């Protein structure tokens, strides 16, 4: 078969690459195989360094069938050699598929969420218990609706159109309310971004045919005005510091650095790089780093997933996965 | 057995220097890895044959998150022992 290399091919290539005679190469390969076999027989274990390990495994007795006659036979217990490739070899063999990673199926998957930062997540403190579902989508939508409706309402008031004015004004108020509620609940939102996509679509369709681009622009512009109730201090970055170090300094625990990163998300940069920035916002914790409030965990969960996204953007899938895991963990702790 | 021991033994057996043996060893491993990375199988006589195959994507269950998880395609090395070593391990040519 063309898909197989013969032993001779291997020996030839070996002698060519080393410049040692074929005969010696052959002897070498045979000697190597012999040593592996000897090891297997005496200790039940062997390895070719940088290639893989062999081990002898016991296989229990089992029922089998003669493939020709279909007659049941007992296959006695026996020993079998198993091979497990070293990590480097595994990686090399899997190179064409390396970019693929296991994914959790359904709901939680961050389908699109987009690279653009969500400033709404900065806003904290759920004063009224918000409905848990479909928040983030509704937030964006309601912000958009609110904006459009308030404009139209204002316009209508100006032109003092009787009937239409009332209805529009009503809806304006109600949407304002919903948007406030959403702000309150915004911190759980980032976690359940994907959940709500569907519902969002339904509600958007009837009222707002506008492009979503406008929405995101508007919300980003608005969000800072709605000012978070959480106090944030400023911190002056010294030379060659990065988030981890700063977090250790201000919170006393380096694990909280995603909060800082997220709090300054407009930087939108590789989380690993050193910071040339002069001043950073440090979001205050509700509890302490040693004894965090549940809310802090929820925020940290959002921040961690934010960091994870940033890592994806900067092409570090491993770290992204790690922080996605952290996010899940913190989310649990926040409940 | 460690690589260094293997090298010592083989160098003695083949009357080559340690450096030459090491060179052989490294290129041998490199050679075999290259073949596998190239999706080419081969046989080491008396030991077994190696091949590469595609383990296609499938779903599994992650007990930690209590969710189904999609395992993507992966290429894996497949080893199948030679009948020689099987018989030797199982006490000489008892049945097929």
Task: Give the residue, A89 or A291, on which the prediction is more confident.
Answer: A89
φ and ψ at residue A256, rounded to 5 degrees: -90, 10
Angle between helices B18-37 and A22-43 (to 10 degrees): 80
Question: What is the band of A120 on the pLDDT scale with cuts at 50, 70, 90?
Answer: very low
Q: What is the pLDDT of residues A273-325, one digit of tens each?
A: 666 656 677 777 777 766 777 777 777 788 787 777 777 777 777 777 888 88
pLDDT of amino acid A208: 41
pLDDT of amino acid A235: 72
- Quickly list H helices, chain B: 3-14, 18-37, 83-89
Distance from CA of B29 to the nearest CA of A (A): 6
Nearest by CB: A32 against B10, B39, B67: B10
State whether A103 and B45 contact (CB < 8 Å): no
The answer to whether B2 faces chain A, any CB pair under 8 Å, is: yes
User: Which of B11, B35, B86, B89 is the mutation pick for testing A, counting most A CBs within 10 A?
Assistant: B89
Distance from CA of B54 to the nearest CA of A (A): 9
- Residue A298: enclosing H or E segment and its boundaries? helix A294-313
Residues of A in contact with B39 (CB under 8 A): 3
Distance from CA of A199 to the nearest CA of B (A): 23
The answer to whether B18 faces chain A, any CB pair under 8 Å, is: no
Where does residue A52 rank: exposed (0-12), middle (13-18), buried (19+ CB within 10 A)? buried
Task: Give the residue, A248 or A57, on which the prediction is more confident.
Answer: A57
State whether B37 and A92 contact (CB < 8 Å): yes
Nearest by CB: A105 against B13, B48, B68: B68
pLDDT of amino acid A276: 62
Query: CA torsion angle for B82, B83, B89, B90 (degrees, to 10)?
Result: 150
- Distance in angstroms (rounded) separating the CA atoms of residues A311 and A320: 5
A137-141, A255-259, B29-33: least confidently modelled range: A137-141
Question: What is the band of A153 on the pLDDT scale with cuts at 50, 70, 90?
Answer: low
pLDDT of amino acid A215: 41
State whether A37 and B46 contact (CB < 8 Å): yes
User: Which of A105, A108, A325 is the mutation pick for testing B, counting most B CBs within 10 A?
Assistant: A105
Closest residue, chain A, to B35 (C-alpha)? A5
pLDDT of amino acid A82: 93
State whether B41 and A102 contact (CB < 8 Å): no
- Distance in angstroms (rounded) separating the CA atoms of residues A45 and A48: 11
Distance from CA of B68 to the nearest CA of A (A): 5
- Which whole number is the average pLDDT over A32-58? 91
Residues of A in contact with B27 (CB under 8 A): 14, 17-18
Nearest by CB: A13 against B25, B31, B43: B31
Residues of B in contact with A92 (CB under 8 A): 33, 36-37
DSSP string for A138-151: HHHHHHHHHHHHHH
């Amino acid at each position: 078969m063309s898909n197989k290399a013969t032993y001779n091919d291997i020996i030839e290539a070996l002698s060519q690459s080393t410049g040692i005679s074929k005969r010696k190469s052959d002897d070498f390969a045979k000697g190597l195989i012999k040593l592996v076999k000897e090891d297997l027989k005496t200790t039940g274990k062997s390895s070719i360094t940088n290639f893989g390990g062999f081990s002898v495994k016991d296989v229990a007795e089992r029922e089998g069938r003669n493939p020709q006659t279909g007659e049941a036979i007992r296959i006695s217990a026996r020993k079998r050699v198993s091979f497990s490739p070293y990590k480097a070899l595994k990686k090399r063999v899997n190179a064409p598929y390396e970019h693929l990673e296991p994914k959790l199926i359904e709901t939680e998957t961050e389908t699109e969420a987009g690279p653009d930062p969500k400033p709404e997540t900065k806003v904290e403190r759920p004063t009224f218990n918000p409905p848990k579902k479909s928040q983030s989508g509704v937030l964006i939508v309601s912000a958009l609706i609110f904006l459009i409706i308030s404009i139209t309402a204002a316009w209508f008031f100006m032109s003092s159109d009787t009937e239409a004015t009332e209805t529009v004004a009503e809806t304006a108020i109600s949407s304002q309310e919903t948007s406030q509620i959403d702000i309150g609940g915004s911190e759980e939102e980032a976690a359940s971004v994907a959940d709500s996509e569907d519902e969002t679509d339904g509600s958007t369709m009837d009222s707002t045919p506008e492009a979503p681009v406008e929405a995101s622009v508007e919300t980003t512009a608005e969000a800072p005005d709605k000012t978070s109730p959480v106090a944030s201090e400023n911190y002056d970055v010294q030379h060659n510091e990065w988030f981890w170090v700063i977090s250790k300094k201000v919170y006393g625990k380096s694990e909280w650095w995603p909060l800082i990163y997220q709090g300054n998300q407009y930087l939108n940069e590789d989380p690993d790089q050193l910071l040339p920035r002069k001043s950073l916002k440090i979001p205050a914790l509700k509890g302490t780093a040693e004894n965090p409030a549940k809310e802090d965990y929820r925020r940290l969960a959002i921040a961690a997933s934010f960091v994870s996204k940033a890592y994806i953007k900067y092409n570090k899938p491993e770290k992204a996965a790690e922080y996605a895991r952290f996010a899940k963990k913190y989310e649990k702790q926040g409940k | 057995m460690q690589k260094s021991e293997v090298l010592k033994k083989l160098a003695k057996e083949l009357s080559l220097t340690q450096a030459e043996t090491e060179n052989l060893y490294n290129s041998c491993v490199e050679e075999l890895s290259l073949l596998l990375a190239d999706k080419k199988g081969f046989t080491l006589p008396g030991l077994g044959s190696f091949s590469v195959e595609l383990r296609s994507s499938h779903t599994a269950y992650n007990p930690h998150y209590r969710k189904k998880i999609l395992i993507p395609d992966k290429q894996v090395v497949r080893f199948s022992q030679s009948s020689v070593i099987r018989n030797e391990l199982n006490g000489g040519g008892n049945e097929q």
